[in-house]
């Protein structure tokens, strides 16, 4: 018993792995210290960081001296232990670029956009509270797409935000708008797109126009001269702007015309029948609700007709990104819209069907227009779907429940760690280009291997600082192993696993894995550390997801995150990335 107790608290100081020792010996030229000039050579040659200078090396050395020895000023240089410490600090030697570095002068549709679904909900889709807190949190995490569902209050004289036809408690629209204004550009200067699910009368639409004009003022972007946008502006031109996106309100004419329109809308094409939701009563219930802006909602339209026969012109004018629908068939919707730009929204199920039937049409559509994908109605617990199918078809707004923690959300976090976490990621050229015969990227086609990513998992550290000593095992140190996944086009999917290191808070695996990639531009590297448990489910020890296109070559410190995506203070891995 006492032996086990002692083992639990036995902490061994982490030691540099052989590759780190070899790199130090090589660039320190066999000496006991690495000078600033030698460190620059290491950064440029080994880490592939072009443009590094002696001043950069001096700054790194001063930072390390201050952390390790609490001193400033010059020393002889970095010792092996100092060098190892530098490599293991993710703020000095992280795996991806922490600054905005993509071309931000391209039009809006050329970017993946960090997008939320029902952004006001604190929990599940049926009975949780509606609040401004999730909106604020999303914006502070870099989310650029905020969704608000608009409904009349009980007195029909004001606007509430809530998930309609559910037990969710409402929040006043004005409170949401003010929170968006206050927090919109805390994390990123690039535009915030507010998608509105509109279930309002023309009178209340006019009130919304007044509210958004009052709150946002000059921050609000909308077409000044044309009725609609012919092309989307660039992100650079849209800095610090708020953009409204919803379906323009209908103009109702005579009751005769209205009956004819209702009859026409009930007609379904063969494709619509194929794509019809069949997920049971809850799905039917919720998908009706989603029709408020992205598909025609006949009940909502009828409600508007009783309240007036004219649209609110100011409200209509403020809609910069107009949402269309697929009433004439999905393929028609994907192939139309050449004169003006718009947004089309599909449930995750309809996207899967569209990807199966019309993959290249989807890609072509997203080269000029915006495609938004949202979770199916049965996800009442606010879970999420696999986002990669949307991204590989060019969908810009893959909308997620940001409170729906799990592997899918980890992937979402991973993609939007790109480009400095600004919420916009430039789509790879393969999704933007057309060939001589107007051909575009087809995700279903298998391509030759373009490059191979080699990943070495050296070691891990920090659990002893961020977890209690009995968290993983009451009587002994943990038994850690690391799982590595490639997520992307189907041909590139892969997973590997290190061996289990028993009884060690600082596990050293020192294992290399190779991943051949056909479309590295769309690949994510997902990493998860687990603690082996013989009798129960293995314990979670941290995770991260990184875009392969952003990975820095060389030996890197990779910070890990908890299940909710919060970064651990100390837990990190030491890894090496190489491309061949």
Beta strands in 250-400 (DSSP E): 319-322, 343-347, 370-374, 397-400
Tally of CA atoms within 13 A in the half-sphere of 415 that contains its CB: 33
Q: Tokens 């909900």, residue? A: 121
Output helix, strand, coil percentages for the chain, rounded to the nearest 5. 35, 25, 40
Name the active-site residue from 102, 110, 160, 163. Answer: 163
Contact assessment for residue 393 and residue 443, using Cβ atoms and an 8 Å cutoff: yes
Helices 298-307 and 202-216 pack at an angle, to 10 degrees, of 90
Cα separation, 498 vs 316, in Å, equals: 57
SS (H, E, C) 488-501: CCHHHCEEEECCCE
Give the DSSP letter of residue 230. Answer: S
Catalytic residue among 117, 160, 199, 295: 117
| Residue 247 contacts residue 297 (beta carbons within 8 Å) | no
3-state secondary structure string across 15-84? CCCHHHHHHHHHHCCCCCCECHHHHHHHHHHHCCCCCCCHHHHHHHHHHHHHHHHCCCCCCCCECHHHHH
- 33 as an active site residue: the answer is no
**Helix 80-87 / helix 18-27 crossing angle, nearest 10 deg:** 120
Q: What is d(CA 227, CA 213) in angstroms, rounded to the nearest whole number?
A: 18
- HEC letters along 76-139: CCECHHHHHHHHCCHHHHCCCCCCCCCCCCCEHHHEEECEECCCCECCCCCCCEECCHHHHHHH
Q: Please give the angle made by the CA atoms of 365, 441 and 336, to the nearest 5 degrees.
A: 15
The residue ranges of DSSP E strands in 363-464, in sequence order, are 370-374, 397-400, 424-426, 451-461
Catalytic annotation present for 117:
yes
Active site residues: 117, 163
């Amino acid at each position: 018993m006492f032996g086990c107790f002692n083992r639990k608290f036995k902490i061994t100081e982490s030691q540099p792995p052989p590759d780190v020792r070899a790199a130090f010996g090589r660039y320190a030229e066999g000496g006991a210290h690495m000078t600033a000039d030698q460190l620059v050579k290491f950064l440029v040659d080994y880490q592939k960081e072009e443009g590094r200078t002696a001043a950069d090396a001096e700054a790194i050395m001063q930072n390390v001296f201050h952390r390790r020895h609490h001193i400033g000023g010059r020393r002889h240089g970095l010792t092996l232990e100092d060098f190892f410490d530098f490599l293991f600090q993710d703020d000095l030697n992280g795996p991806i670029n922490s600054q905005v570095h993509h071309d931000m002068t391209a039009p809006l549709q050329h970017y993946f956009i960090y997008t939320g679904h029902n952004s006001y909900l604190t929990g599940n889709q049926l009975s949780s509270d509606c609040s401004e807190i999730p909106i604020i949190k999303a914006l502070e995490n870099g989310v650029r797409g905020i969704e608000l569902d608009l409904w009349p209050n009980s007195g029909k004289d004001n606007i509430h935000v809530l998930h309609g036809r559910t037990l969710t408690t409402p929040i006043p629209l004005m409170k949401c708008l003010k929170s968006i204004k206050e927090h919109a550009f805390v994390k990123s200067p690039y535009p915030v797109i507010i998608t509105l699910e509109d279930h309002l009368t023309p009178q209340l639409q006019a009130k919304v126009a007044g509210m958004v004009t009052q709150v946002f003022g000059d921050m609000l972007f909308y077409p000044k001269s044309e009725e609609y946008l012919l092309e989307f502006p660039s992100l650079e031109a849209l800095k610090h702007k708020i953009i409204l996106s919803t379906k323009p309100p209908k103009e109702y004419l005579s009751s005769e015309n209205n009956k004819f329109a209702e009859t026409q809308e009930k007609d379904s094409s063969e494709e619509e029948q194929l794509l019809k939701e069949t997920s049971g009563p809850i799905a039917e219930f919720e998908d009706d609700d989603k029709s408020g802006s992205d598909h025609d909602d006949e009940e909502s339209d009828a409600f508007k007709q009783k309240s007036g026969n004219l649209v609110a012109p100011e409200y209509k004018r403020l809609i910069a990104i107009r949402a269309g629908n697929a009433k004439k068939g999905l393929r028609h919707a994907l192939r139309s819209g050449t004169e003006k730009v718009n947004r089309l929204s599909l449930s995750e199920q309809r996207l899967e069907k569209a990807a199966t039937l019309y993959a290249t049409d989807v890609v072509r559509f997203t080269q000029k227009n915006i495609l938004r994908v949202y979770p199916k109605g049965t996800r009442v617990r606010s879970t999420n779907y696999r986002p990669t199918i949307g991204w590989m078809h060019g969908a810009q707004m893959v909308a997620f429940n940001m409170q729906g923690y799990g592997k899918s959300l980890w992937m979402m976090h991973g993609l939007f760690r790109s480009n400095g976490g600004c919420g916009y990621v430039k789509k790879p050229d393969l999704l933007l280009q057309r060939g001589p015969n107007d051909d575009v990227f087809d995700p279903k086609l298998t391509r030759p291997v373009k490059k191979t990513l080699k990943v070495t998992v050296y070691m891990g550290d920090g659990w002893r600082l961020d977890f209690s000593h009995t968290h993983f095992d009451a009587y002994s140190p943990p038994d850690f192993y690391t799982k590595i996944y490639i997520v992307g086009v189907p041909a590139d999917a892969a997973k590997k696993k290190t061996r289990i290191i028993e009884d060690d808070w600082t596990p050293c695996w020192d294992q290399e894995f190779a991943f051949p990639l056909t479309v590295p531009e769309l690949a994510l590297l997902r990493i998860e550390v687990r603690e082996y448990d013989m009798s129960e489910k293995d314990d979670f020890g941290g995770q991260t997801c990184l875009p392969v296109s952003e990975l820095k070559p060389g030996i890197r410190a990779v910070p890990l995150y908890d299940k909710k995506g919060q970064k651990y203070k100390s837990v990190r891995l030491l890894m090496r990335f190489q491309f061949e």
